[in-house]
Structure 1
Amino acid sequence: MDRLIYTAMTGAKHILEQQATTAHNLANATTTGFKAQIDSFRAVPILGDGLPTRAFVVDATMGTNYAAGSIQQTGRDLDIAVQGEGWIAVQRADGSEGYTRNGSLKINQNGQLQTESGLNVMGDGGPISIPPDVSVTIAKDGTVSSVNNLTAPGATNIIGRIKLANPPESSLKRAADGLFVTSNGQPAPADANVTVVGGALESSNVNVVDTMVNMISLARQFEMQMKMLDNAQNNAGKADQLFGLNG
């Protein structure tokens, strides 16, 4: 009964945590370039005096589903989608380098190429600045080119190249701001093999149907843990009655 309480209690706690992760994934089912979060759990015995009769559940790992989402054409010049493996390098709020698959870009009032959330897109030599009165195109290899709108025909000028990286998935972790960073905090090198599709965006890799089914399954598992606790309480009550009869 003692073991039953610990198992059911910790199981219910972590089912709620997994339900929160599932709800977070579902909420980001339409977020561009989002990668679903994965939780896994394991049973751990409680060590102490006497026999190891008690166990509890711990969150073993918090992983990520790195599968690519579908590429959807938008026709917008500043939209890019990473084709296959790879990441777009951006400058995080603290100045460090982060990685995203969200290629919905914009040009701010200062002429800097940024993500929709206002983070600078990194180039070979740092953030990329766009001159005024130009039309911008982004090539397959991330090269940013411009054409002057004030001259006809305008000459094509290469402004810079978006840094595209492909660090090993095992070296990446999800940061609190939603971006991915390397485990050692060092910038990943640029990878010339990473390519992008212009005028397109990558959708979230969250499968809405599977996620909804998982939420229902977790709810039923939580109910089962609660029933186990009720059974433990009933067993304790009956044991007290038996002890009372023996007295």
Structure 2
Amino acid sequence: MMRALWTAASGMTAQQLNVDVISNNLSNVNTTGYKKQRVEFKDLLYETLSRANVLEGEGRPVNLQVGHGVAPVSTVTAYTMGNLEKTDNPLDFAIDGEGFFAVRDANEQIAYTRDGSFKISISDGEAKLVTKEGYAVLDDGDNEIYLTGIDVNSLSVGPTGELTYIDEDDVVQSLGQTLQVVQFQNRDGLLKTGSNFVSPSSASGEPILEMDIENKSTLMQGFLESSNVQVVEEMVKLIVAQRAYEVNSKAIQTSDEMLQMANNLRR
């Protein structure tokens, strides 16, 4: 009977984590470039009470085993595309494909993001392209992108990230820089670090510049990628998780009542 108590308790713990992940998805339904997650589970160790044993056509053809519950094993990120929302802001960029923008964070480390809502930061008279946090956006040579003396409204970005602008004589000029967009061999191995950023790990592999990839992404200026969270889908998952949690609690209650009956046999 004690086995049932611990098994059901493992189910309640697993469903609690499941609800935590679903809640995080729902809370980020309006987060630019957010990618939803789901929890994967595995069953735990089995106790074999009787093994299958067939000799010369006779014996038990099946095993008698009892499991010990469930445990969460991983959270998987779904990198499906979110809807593209038109903003008409020349500093908003969306990636149609599997790429990530590269930025330099406060620790001078390179981080990656799908959030292309960039801004202009003025420091010491220099205008620099940055994220909302003030992190510098990088070109394909890991250099910061400066827009000093350029009318931001005339800035244009090509499908593969080439930066151009219109000068005072209405002539299109190249900035000489290209937005860095990279891909990873295994996006599921990326580590989410918050603020819409991810960092590579040994599981994801090193970032690969899109110029070295056949299946390139396309940049779209004046658009932002919305979250790929589907509210109705998450609500259904939430209801299922709640019912599973409730059923496991009922199993604990039933086990407790059966133990109480067994204890009362001596009276």
Q: TM-score, normalised by structure 2?
A: 0.82
Give the CA deviation at 1:171.
Answer: 6.2
Unaligned runs of 5+ in 1: none
Aligned-partner residue type, residue 80 of structure 2: A
* 1:1-247 → structure 2 map (5 Å cutoff): 1-45=1-45, 55-110=68-123, 111-125=127-141, 126-135=143-152, 136-148=155-167, 151-153=168-170, 156-170=173-187, 172-177=189-194, 178-184=196-202, 187-192=206-211, 193-242=216-265, 244-245=266-267
* CA spacing shift, 1:187–1:153, aligned 2, 3 Å: same
* C-alpha RMSD over aligned residues: 2.2
* CA spacing shift, 1:171–1:62, aligned 2, 3 Å: closer
Distance in 2 of aligned mates of 1:45 and 1:157: 62
Give the CA deviation at 1:10.
Answer: 1.1
SS of aligned partner of 2:190: strand
Give the CA deviation at 1:186.
Answer: 7.0
Distance in 1 of aligned mates of 2:222 and 2:114: 14
Q: Provide the identity percentage.
A: 26
- The answer on whether the counterparts of 1:165 and 1:194 sit within 8 Å (CA) in structure 2 is no
For the pair shown, the structure with the greater C-alpha radius of gyration is 2
* CA spacing shift, 1:231–1:139, aligned 2, 3 Å: same
- The answer on whether the counterparts of 2:184 and 2:205 sit within 8 Å (CA) in structure 1 is no
- Indicate the larger mover: 160-169 or 110-119: 110-119
Aligned-partner residue type, residue 90 of structure 2: D
Q: TM-score, normalised by structure 1?
A: 0.88
- The answer on whether the counterparts of 1:124 and 1:162 sit within 8 Å (CA) in structure 2 is yes
